[in-house]
Amino acid sequence: MKTSSSNRLLFNSVAGRGWLVPIAIAALLYAISLHNYLLFHTLAELFPIMVAVIMAVVVWHTYEFSRNHFLMYLGCGYFWIAMLDLAHALYYKGMGFQAIDSANLSIQLWVITRFFEACLLISAPLFMKKPVVRLPLFTLFGAIVISTFALINAGHFPDAFIDGSGLTPFKVNSEYLIVIIMLGAIGFTYSKRTMIDPFILKLMLASISLTIFAELAFTFYISVYGLSNLVGHIFKLFSFWFIFAAIVRTTLTEPFQVMSRVSSTYDAIPDPTIVVDRHGYIHQVNKAACEMAGQPAESLINHHCHDLFHPTVKNSESCPLCDMITKGESVSNLELENHEQSRWHLYSLTPVDSGILEGMVHVAIDTTRRRQMEEALRQSRQKLALHVLRTPLAVIEWNRDFEVVEWNPAAAKIFGFSADEAFGRHAAGLILPDWAKDHVNNVWAELIDNRGGLSSTNENLTKDGRTISCDWYNTPLIDEQGEVIGVASLVQDITERKLAEELIHDEKERAQVTLHSIGDAVITTDALGTIDYLNPIAENLTGWESSEAIGKPVTEVFNIVNEFTRSRVENPVEKCLREGAIVGLANHTALIRRDSSEISIEDSAAPIRDRRGDVIGVVMVFHDVSHERELSNKLTHQASHDGLTGLFNRQEFERRLTDLLLSAREDHKEHALLYIDLDQFKIVNDTCGHIAGDELLRQLSNIFAKYVREADTVARLGGDEFGILLEACDINHAHRTADNLRLAVKEYRFAWEGKYFEIGASIGLTAITDESQGLSKVLSAADIACYAAKENGRNRVHVYVEGDTELENRQSEMQWASRIAQALKENRFRLYSQVITPVNIEDGLVPHYELLVRMVDEAGESLFLRKFVLGIQAQANSKNLTRPFMPTAPRGGQRGQADPTRFFPPGRRTVRPDG
C-alpha cells in the first residue's frame, strides 16, 4: 500500500481533531472518578467494549469489499476481548455481581484478557497476506475465551489480587510478560511495514504502545480504586481508540474513497454504459447513459434496459440483446437500427459477477453520425465517379508498373485512345514521345519513392500522331499498409493556351521594346500602386534601377513636391487608382530623385483596364521640363519685375494694390501706399549720364528694401518714381516708415567718378481703407500728396487727407493737365485772331493781330481760359501750346488750314489763351 495526500489529511484529522474525542472522554471519566470510582471503572470499560464490538461488526460486514485479512483477524479477536472485558467489568469489586465481594476474579479476567490481546497483536502480522475463514476463526477465538473463563470460575487459575495486600507476584509478572509480548508485537508489526498503509502502521504502533503503558500502570496499585489503576484505564481507552481509527480507516474510509473514484471513472466513460442483472433490470448507469436516455440516474435504476436502450420495434422477448443478457452471452460490435428514432447503435455485452450481482455490463455506442458519414461518403464516391465521367480533365489511374487501370472519357477525347485501347498499356507505348521517356520515368520513380504529389507540363502524343502540351497533376495512391499501389493523374490539354501565351508573350515583348524606345519616362504599377516596370528614361529621371524599383510602392520611387511651397503633391498613380480616370500633375511639380536632387516634371497617369473594364494598374508617363520651366519662370519674373532694379514693376504693383483694396473692403483691414519721387535725380542724370542714373536707382532700391517688411511691396513705377505698399499698416506707422525712408535717402551720398551727390525724396502717403474708391483714385491721391511734398519744399512726407483744399486744387490742376495733354495729342486746340487797331490811326503803321487759343473738349465744345488756365500753368511751358496747332490757325478769325505766318508777319503777333 502507498501513502497519499488523502492519508496525510486523514492522519492529521485523527491525530489532531481525532484526539479530541478520547481526551474529552478521559476528562469526563476523571471527573467521575473523583466522586464515584466504581462508576468511572464501569464507564471506562464500557467504552473499549463498545469500540471493540463496533470494530468487529464493521470488519465482518466489509470484509467482502476490503479483503483485509489482517484486520479481519484483529476484528474477530477484539470481539472476544470485549466479552472478557465485559466480564471483568461485571465482576469488578463493588458491582455485586458475585457472592464474595473480592477484586481477585475481576483482576484474573483482566490478566487473561491482556494475555489474549498480546497474543492476538503479535500473531496478527502473519495474516497480512494469508486469507482467513471468518466463521471458523471467530468460533476458535470464542472457544478459547469461554474455556479460559470456565477455568477461572472453577478456581484453576492463580490468584492475582489479595485484599489488603494488593497484587500478587503472578499478577505483576504476568503484566511484565504481557509487556514483553507487546514489544514483540511492535517489532513484528514494524517488520511488515511495507505491507501496511503507513497511516495504519502508525495507529497500530501507537495502540500497542499505549497498551504497554497501561499494563505497566497496572503493576503498581495496591487498591483497585487507586491512582495507578485509574491511569491504566485511561491508557487502555486511548489504545482502543487508535485500533478503532485504524479499522475505520481501512474498512470504511478507503473503500468509500475507492467507490468515489470508481464512480467518477465510470462517469468519465464517454459511451453509455449500464450494469444490468440477468433479467435486464438496470442496477447502475453512468452519466453518458443518463444523457442518452434523457433521464437522471435514479429514474433509470430498476427499469428494464430494453425500454430505454434497445430498438423499440422489437419487444424484449424477441430482442436479440435481451436474449443474450438472459443467457449471459457476451457480444461485441452488434449494430442495430432504431427505426422510430432513425438512429444506429453499436452494442456490446460483457458478463460480470461481483458476488453480489450477477449480470452484464451493457455498452451502447451511438453510431448514427458514423453511418451518416458513411452514407455521405458513398454518395460522394458516386458523385466523384460521375465527375470523373463528365469532367473535361483526363482522369487516369496507373498501377505501380505505369500501366493504365482507369481511363475516363476526357482522356479518350484528349489522346484519341478509347478505354479498351488504353487499359493495361504502358505509358511509354501509349502517349509518351521517345525523347521524353527517360524524364517521365524519373518523375514516376520520384512519385513512388517520395510519396508526394508532383505537377509538370509535358509534351504528349495522340493516337493520330499529333504532339500536344498537357499539364499533369500526379498523386500517389497509398493503401492501408502505407504501400504505394499506383498513381492518379489529372491531365489538361493546354495546347491552345500555350499558343495564346506565346502570342501574348510576343505582344508583351513588342510593348516592352516600344516602352524602352520612347523618349518619355514610363512607370507602370499594379492595382495596389506597386511598381512592375520602369523604362530606361524613368530609371534615369528617378535615379532608381529597374531591378531595385520593381515591387516597391510608387510613392517611394516617384516622390514629388510643389516647387514653391515644398509641400507633398498627391501622387497621380494614387489619384488615378482612386478615380479610375486619366489625371495630370499639378503645376510647379518637382520630382525628388534618389540622390535628393530635383527636376521639374510634367506627367499624366492613365488606368490600365482588363477585358471586364476593371482597373488592374496604372501607366504613368512623365518628362523633364526643367529647362522650359526655367525659361517660363524667367518670363514670369520679367513680366512682373523692373529690368533695371529687380523690383516689382508698375503692372505687378497695381495688381497687388488691387488685392489690398479688396482686402480692405472685405476684411476691413487698413493698409498704406507710399508714392516716392526722387529729388535732384535729374542733376545726376544730366551731369554723369544715364549709366550713373541707373546705378543710383539700383542702389536706392536696395535702401528701400531694407526699411520695409518682407510682406510689403516695393516697386519702380517709372523714371525716378517708386511705390511702396505697406500691408496691414495704419497711417501712423506708415508715416514713421515713410519718414525713415526719407531720412535714409537724405543721408545717402551717391559717388560716381569722384563726384558726390546728395539725393532727396518727396513722399506722398495715403491710407487704403474700406472707404477707398478704387485703384486710380488711390494712385491719384498718393501722386497729389507727392506733388504737394515737392511744392512745399521737397524732401518731405505729405499725407493725403480727404477734404484738404490745397490738395483738391492740386488734384484739379493735375486733372486739367492730363486733359490738356490729351487734347494736344488729339489736336483739339483752336486759334482765333483779331486785329489790334489803335485809336489814332497813323499812316504807315503795321497792323497787329492777337491770336486767341481755345481748347475743344471731348464733346466738341470750346473751353475758355478760365476753365483750363490752371492746367496751362501746370504744364509750365507755353511753347508746348503753340507748336501743335500753328498749322491750323484760321485766317481773319475764320477757321482754316492756312499757315498763319502767311498772314501775320513775324514779330507782329501775340498769342494768348482766349478768355
Give the DSSP per-residue string, 568-623. Answer: BPPPHHHHHHHH-S-EEPPSSEEEE-TTS-EEEEEEEEEEEE-TTS-EEEEEEEEE
Q: pTM here? A: 0.37
Query: Structural domain of residue 199, as residue ranges?
Result: 18-255
What distance in Å separates the CA atoms of residue 333 and residue 313, rounded to the nearest whole number?
20
Do 659 and 790 share a domain, yes or no?
yes
Query: Is 18 exposed, middle or buried (CB count within 10 Å of its CB: 0-12, 13-18, 19+)?
Result: middle
Do 365 and 415 share a domain, yes or no?
no
**116's grid cell:** 489474549
Beta strands in 340-387 (DSSP E): 343-353, 358-366
Residue 252 is given by DSSP the state I
Helix pair angle (169-191, 198-217), 10° resolution: 170
Instruction: Tell me if 900 is assigned to some domain.
Output: no
Query: Is 890 exposed, middle or buried (CB count within 10 Å of its CB: 0-12, 13-18, 19+)?
Result: middle
Distances (CA, A) of 498 to 96, 395, 464, 493, 657: 125, 21, 20, 10, 72
Residue 901 is given by DSSP the state G
Beta strands 161-162 and 166-167 are: antiparallel
Do 782 and 839 share a domain, yes or no?
no
Name the one residue in this structure whose C-alpha cell is 461485441. Answer: 332
**Residue ranges of the chain with pLDDT lower than 50?**
1-16, 258-259, 876-911
Boundary residue ending a domain (802, 833, 862): 802
Run of H or E residues at 485: strand 484-493
Q: For residue 630, how many other CB atoms are within 10 A of its CB?
A: 11
DSSP letter string, 777-797: HHHHHHHHHHHHHHHTTSSSE
List 758's β-bridge partners, or say none: 749
Q: For residue 813, how many other CB atoms are within 10 A of its CB?
A: 20
- Which residues contact residue 395 at a Cβ distance below 8 angstroms, ignoring those fewer than 6 apart? 388, 406, 408, 410, 411, 488, 489, 490, 491
What distance in Å separates the CA atoms of residue 63 and residue 135, rounded to the nearest whole number?
12
Name the one residue in this structure whose C-alpha cell is 531591378. Answer: 547
Q: How many residues does the chain have?
A: 915
Instruction: Tell me if 314 is assigned to some domain.
Output: yes
Query: Is 524 exposed, middle or buried (CB count within 10 Å of its CB: 0-12, 13-18, 19+)?
Result: buried
Boundary residue ending a domain (566, 599, 632): 632
Helix pair angle (104-123, 198-217), 10° resolution: 150
Do 213 and 323 share a domain, yes or no?
no
Over 816-847, what HEC string results? HHHHHHHHHHCCCEEEEEEEECCCCCCCCCCC
What distance in Å separates the CA atoms of residue 704 and residue 693, rounded to the nearest whole number?
16
Per the rule left: phi > 0, alpha: psi between -120 and 50, beta: everything else, 589 is beta
**CATH at residue 434:** 3.30.450.20
- Convert the pLDDT of each residue in 544-570 to its tens digit: 998 899 999 998 999 999 888 888 888
Do 576 and 701 share a domain, yes or no?
no
What distance in Å separates the CA atoms of residue 271 and residue 462, rounded to the nearest whole number?
59
Contacts 24+ apart (CB under 8 A), 890-897: 890/830, 890/831, 890/832, 890/833, 891/833, 892/833, 893/832, 893/833, 893/834, 895/830
Do 114 and 250 share a domain, yes or no?
yes
Over 701-749, what HEC string results? HHHHHHCCCCCCEEEEEECCEEEEEECCCCHHHHHHHHHHHHHHHHHCE
Do 524 and 559 share a domain, yes or no?
yes
List 346's β-bridge partners, or say none: 335, 365
What distance in Å separates the CA atoms of residue 313 and residue 326, rounded to the nearest whole number?
19
Query: For position 721, what pLDDT does the model report?
Result: 92
Give how far the C-alpha of residue 752 lies from the chain's centroid of Cα atoms, to the nearest Å: 78
What distance in Å separates the CA atoms of residue 727 and residue 586, rounded to the nearest whole number?
30
What distance in Å separates the CA atoms of residue 422 and residue 397, rounded to the nearest whole number?
11
- Which residues contact residue 33 at a Cβ distance below 8 angstroms, ignoring those fewer than 6 apart? 40, 230
**421's grid cell:** 485501347
Instruction: Tell me if 891 is assigned to some domain.
Output: no
What distance in Å separates the CA atoms of residue 292 and residue 301, rounded to the nearest whole number?
14
What distance in Å separates the CA atoms of residue 496 and residue 131, rounded to the nearest whole number?
91
Residue 304 is given by DSSP the state B
What distance in Å separates the CA atoms of residue 124 and residue 276, rounded to the nearest whole number?
40
Instruction: Tell me if 731 is assigned to some domain.
Output: yes
Do 66 and 91 share a domain, yes or no?
yes
Do 759 and 697 share a domain, yes or no?
yes
What distance in Å separates the CA atoms of residue 493 and residue 391, rounded to the nearest whole number?
13
What distance in Å separates the CA atoms of residue 538 and residue 516, rounded to the nearest whole number?
10
CB 775 within 8 Å of CB 654 = yes
Instruction: Tell me if 911 is assigned to some domain.
Output: no
Q: Note the helical H segments in 134-270.
A: 134-153, 169-191, 198-217, 227-248, 254-268
Do 22 and 56 share a domain, yes or no?
yes
Distances (CA, A) of 165 to 103, 669, 697: 12, 139, 157
What distance in Å separates the CA atoms of residue 544 and residue 319, rounded to the nearest whole number?
87
What distance in Å separates the CA atoms of residue 591 and residue 123, rounded to the nearest whole number?
108
Give how far the C-alpha of residue 585 lies from the chain's centroid of Cα atoms, to the nearest Å: 37
Instruction: Tell me if 135 is assigned to some domain.
Output: yes
- Convert the pLDDT of each residue in 781-820 to its tens digit: 899 899 888 888 889 999 998 766 566 666 666 666 667 7
Run of H or E residues at 533: strand 531-534
**738's grid cell:** 515713410
Rounded to 5 degrees, φ, ψ at 767 are -85, 150
Boundary residue ending a domain (574, 602, 632): 632
What distance in Å separates the CA atoms of residue 895 and residue 675, rounded to the nearest whole number?
44
3-class SS of residue 531: strand
Do 47 and 195 share a domain, yes or no?
yes
**515's grid cell:** 516602352
CB 447 within 8 Å of CB 487 = yes
Residue 788 is given by DSSP the state H
Residue 676 is given by DSSP the state E
Do 244 and 275 share a domain, yes or no?
no
What distance in Å separates the CA atoms of residue 782 and residue 133, rounded to the nearest whole number?
142
Query: Is 653 exposed, middle or buried (CB count within 10 Å of its CB: 0-12, 13-18, 19+)?
Result: buried
Number of domains in the chain: 6
Question: Of 282, 488, 479, 324, which is closest to residue 393 (Cα–Cα)?
Answer: 488
What distance in Å separates the CA atoms of residue 285 and residue 299, rounded to the nearest whole number?
10
3-class SS of residue 478: strand
